[in-house]
Structure 1
């Protein structure tokens, strides 16, 4: 079994925290597809009882990252097809969200979007990738909320944890945080301008770049498993 990632587990919501640790390890390719996850080993690695491990398995199974088989829980993982599916889903959800948000007209939430972009700028200035990722996912989450479409928001939030994990991994790929901030600010300006077509088109370009970076993360993980230079 791959070495468990360094991750501090607090006492609150242990199952969710273990799920977050395993989710990132799986997305980063630290576990191979088909690899069995052993409750006892993970409980010891994370310093928890088996209950939170089972809770984490249930969360990850709903997200499609692991599956329960007769011989135990095994990793499905994230491959190139899964990356394409996740980003095409994200594009469909956010594309509609942008159109609806723009059509609803200027809202107080638009100033919230600007605060998140300013947060990205501040994080980029000190090269704080973690803070940047938090502001980035909050920006996209806010767009979905501003759409006023409850079911769209429900689906987005179902996959938000996976999207956040992928975002952190793509930011780790030598990404220029200032350039990414500029792209978010451009998207925000188009949203505020009130024309949904260019705003949706800019979002599509934005997400396609993110998808390409995630594919590179996956390819590097695959190369590590094969023992070839990244």
Structure 2
């Protein structure tokens, strides 16, 4: 009989998806036995997946326990700087290499995402798909690999900046500018529009974090 249990790779992916999907938040403790039960795997692949995630900085130690890592202000700033540079490059390359069909997919995403403007969680998932499509349209596998790492770290943010009032609509308007530049084959404009988009997201994130600090004092 064929063994249909999840593999080690599946255990890693399932834990990562759980963090990315908000099932586990920064500071949450991950217990090997509980994860094995949740995902229906043995403890060995879970243990190996946890070790891998710790090495990648997705998990950190709290005494003997492993918890989902969080980003301090400096790490957040560093992440957005790198994201802006790499995302801008992806948009520039997409303007040069994207096939007409890939641009059409981006256009279709823009249209579909209008219905999600008042649903931050759904819009956040759509936003990731939109950015991933730009990464793929760059036709540079090494850049895509680095952006995957960056977006993996974005999962360590406890909330989406798209939840801020008016940010969802603004983000979609920025997406439209990015797609227009890619469609026109204007690499400079696409790079600039994507960097501006990331900058606006960072400003929103900083305002949200400042509001939380003020509310806690």
TM-score w.r.t. the length of structure 2 is 0.75
**Counterparts of 1:167 and 1:139 in 2: how far apart (Å)?**
20
- SS state at 2:181 partner: helix
Q: Is the alpha carbon distance of 1:77 and 1:113 closer, same or farther for their aligned partners in structure 2, counting shifts above 3 Å? A: same
Q: Give the whole-Å Cα distance in 2 for the aligned partners of 1:65 and 1:155.
A: 15
Listed one character per residue, the Cα deviations across residues 169-216 of structure 1 (whole Å, up to 9, x for unaligned) are 212233442222111111111111221112211111110111122234
Which residue number in structure 2 is paired with residue 6 of structure 1? none
Shift of 1:17: 4.0
DSSP 3-state at the match of 1:67: strand
Which structure 2 segments of 5+ residues have no match? Answer: none
2:161 to 150, 170, 173: 170
Shift of 1:147: 0.9
Other-structure match for 1:201 = 192
What CA distance in whole angstroms lies between the structure 1 residues aligned with 2:98 and 2:150? 27
Answer with 150-159 or 199-208: which moved more.
Answer: 150-159
Structure 1: runs of 5+ lacking an equivalent: 1-10
Give the aligned CA root-mean-square deviation in angstroms. 3.4
* Cα pair distance change 1:75/1:164, threshold 3 Å: closer
Matching of residue 180 in structure 1 with residue 171 in structure 2: yes
Picking from 88, 99, 104, the partner of 2:92 is 99
Q: Once the two structures are superposed, what CA deviation does each residue of 1:61-90 show, in whole Å capped at 9, x if it has no partner?
A: 244232358744356421111111221221
CA positional deviation for 1:102: 1.2
Deviations 1:27-78 (A, max 9, x none): 4xxx2xxx9x4627x829x856883764563354244232358744356421
CA distance in 1, matches of 2:51, 2:72: 20
CA gap 1:75/1:17 in 2 versus in 1, 3 angstroms:
closer
Aligned to 2:31: 39
Give how far 1:141 is off: 0.7
Q: In the TM superposition, what are the counterparts of 1:1-230 in structure 2 within 5 Å?
A: 13=10, 16-22=13-19, 24=22, 25-27=24-26, 31=27, 37=29, 39=31, 43=34, 51=43, 54=47, 57-58=50-51, 60-68=53-61, 71-73=64-66, 76-104=69-97, 106-124=99-117, 127-163=118-154, 166=157, 169-220=160-211, 227-228=216-217
TM-score with structure 1 setting the length:
0.71
Q: Distance in 1 between matches of 2:99 and 2:121?
A: 30
SS in structure 2 opposite 1:180? helix
Asked if structure 2 preserves the Cα contact closer than 8 Å seen for 1:119 and 1:132, the reply is no
C-alpha separation between the residues in 1 aligned to 2:61 and 2:42? 16
Q: In the aligned structure 2, how far is the partner of 1:174 from the partner of 1:105? A: 33
